[in-house]
Amino acid sequence: MATLSMIDSNSHMDKLTSEIFSILENKFLFGYDNNNNNNNVTSPTKDQVSVPIDEMKFHKHVSGKVRVLSIDGGGATDGVLAAMSIVHLESSLRRSSGIPDARISDFFDVVTGSGIGGVLAALLFTKGKDGEPLFTADDALRFVVENGCKMSRFCKPGVFRRILGNPPKSGKVFSKTFGDLSLKDTVKAVLIPCYDLTTGAPFVFSRADAVEMEGCDFKMSDVCAATTAVNGPVETVSVDRRTKISAVTGELAMNNPTAMAITHILNNKQEFPFCNTVDDLLVVSLGNGEPSCGVAGNQTPSRAALLKIVGETVSDTVDQAISMAFGQSRASNYGRIQGNKGFVDSGNLNKGKETNMLKLAEQMLRQKNVESVLFQGKKCNKTNLDKLEFFATEIVKETERRKLNILPTVVLRQTTTSSSPRTSSATTLSITSSN
């Protein structure tokens, strides 16, 4: 009974707080009708607001839209398509904003990535000693081109490594790149999934959890090794050694992690207090190229080919479902970049793997962008490059709107030097309005 009483009391307090906040907000923005006996907020008139009625839509998002970057796991281009998309996106953002040295992390509040996409997220959103992200978009593209095969689920390990059972070479690359940097050292909210064989369920490495609970902070090198664990499970341990998981690639858990990111944002009211629906989001989702199954006639696909087809099919289904969820706002609030290897002119590709992948990705970016809507099929729009340019402009507009915002869009939890566990995130919140 005491528990029920407490819940009931908290419910009343929440309703009271919400009503008080609503009254104060509307009084501050539009004025409040003190003569209204029902204590209902009146609709603002032309005399009560400082902007024309036709601009009232702006006030629907007085705290701004949460900007999300989602990156798929490896597809037809082993991460090169997503990396090249980011290069073009960063270039467009710099051009639109007039900031020549801007980074991709300056314009997004949340990044999520699976597999190779998770590595890209880590490279672009983990800060170095100077406080800036470790890699620019160009640096990240070079990293993926040079190391992509080591992180691909379809790159076969060498004979000696298969016999001796040595750990994947990518682990050494990650250790050299990130050192002792952990999830707490990321500049924005980061979400990177893997599949935990211990629990038989997906596991998400999250900056929010790392800041809140010591047992959820992992080294970024371990996070990347876990989400790209393609040659068997990788034993992954938190920084404080309290949490242990047996990780395999995040591409198996969620090759397209966009839905996970949206769910996290809509349910994380501490960091995104005013984000309630997809209308409060601005999402750019980057695919890595739909595969051509490469199976002739009635030939049965190999296990690797089937796994690839399943992963990309799930990604496409997630894209269609999310597109439908955005409804009429999908044209402005949700952008999906995806190429189709089946429509690439392979005759113009060189034999060298690196050049091959780069040219393949470039062709995919110049393809017509395909918009998928569940149960309504697909339709071709402008090219992928045109769509990247459009969303870069929208993201910069959102960034500029925030300069006039009354309320913060993002309330990032800040790290502390204390080793004692937190009793409540509310005791250590520090408001940070993303620029």
DSSP string, 33-66: -TT-TT-PPPPP-TTT-SS-GGGGGGGGGTT-PE
**Least confident piece of the model among 80-84, 166-170, 196-200:** 166-170
Residue 173's contacts (CB-CB under 8 Å, 6 or more residues apart) are 147, 150
How remote is the C-alpha of 274 from its chain's centroid?
Answer: 19
Q: Note whether 113 and 192 are within 8 A (CB).
A: yes
Residue 416, pLDDT > 60, answer no
Name the 3-class secondary structure at 282.
strand
Residue 312's contacts (CB-CB under 8 Å, 6 or more residues apart) are 75, 255, 290, 291
- Which alpha helices (H) appear in 37-169, and where do they start and end? 80-97, 116-125, 137-151, 159-164
In the chain, the amino acid numbered 348 is: N
Position 289 confidence tier, pLDDT thresholds 50, 70, 90? confident
Could you give the count of Cα atoms lying within 13 Å of 338 in the half-sphere of its Cβ? 28
Please list the helix, strand and coil fractions of the chain in percent, rounded to the nearest 5, in that order. 50, 15, 35
The one-character DSSP state at 414 is P
Residue 27, pLDDT > 50, answer no
How remote is the C-alpha of 206 from its chain's centroid?
Answer: 11
pLDDT of residue 24: 46
Mean pLDDT of the chain: 77
Label the pairing between strands 110-113 and 66-71.
parallel
Cα dihedral across residues 10, 14, 15, 19: positive or negative: positive
- The better pLDDT of the pair 357, 349 is held by 357
Q: How long is the chain?
A: 435
- The better pLDDT of the pair 355, 212 is held by 212
Domain ranges of the chain: 66-156+166-291+302-343+351-404
Give how far Cα 48 sits from Cα of 22, 29, 41, 231, Å: 16, 8, 13, 64
Name the 3-class secondary structure at 62.
coil
pLDDT of residue 345: 61
In the chain, the amino acid numbered 360 is: L
Position 174 confidence tier, pLDDT thresholds 50, 70, 90? very high
Q: Which helix (H) or strand (E) holds 382?
A: strand 377-383
Q: Which helix (H) or strand (E) holds 253?
A: helix 250-254
The one-character DSSP state at 270 is T
pLDDT of residue 172: 86
Tokens of 127: 């800060």
pLDDT of residue 126: 97
- Per the annotation, the verdict on 91 as an active-site residue is no
- The better pLDDT of the pair 77, 351 is held by 77
In the chain, the amino acid numbered 54 is: D
pLDDT of residue 52: 42
DSSP secondary structure, 180-249, as one string = T-BGGGBSSEEEEEEEETTTTEEEEEEHHHHHH-GGG--BHHHHHHHHT--SS-EEEE-TTS--EEEEE-
Residue 177's contacts (CB-CB under 8 Å, 6 or more residues apart) are 123, 134, 143, 221
Mean pLDDT of 216-244: 93
pLDDT of residue 185: 96
* Cα end-to-end span (Å), the chain: 47
What is the CB neighbour count within 10 angstroms for residue 401?
Answer: 15
Position 343 confidence tier, pLDDT thresholds 50, 70, 90? low
Q: Which helix (H) or strand (E) holds 326?
A: helix 303-326
d(CA 66, CA 363): 31
The region that residue 327 occupies, defined by phi over 0 for left and psi between -120 and 50 for alpha, beta otherwise, is left
- The torsion defined by the Cα of 151, 152, 158 and 159, in degrees rounded to 10, comes to 120
Closest CA to 265 of 58, 397, 401, 68: 68
Name the active-site residue from 63, 114, 152, 221. 114
Model confidence over 137-166: pLDDT tens digits?
999 999 999 887 666 554 544 433 333 344
Tell me the fold of 66-156+166-291+302-343+351-404: Cytosolic phospholipase A2 catalytic domain (3.40.1090)
Label the pairing between strands 281-286 and 334-337.
parallel
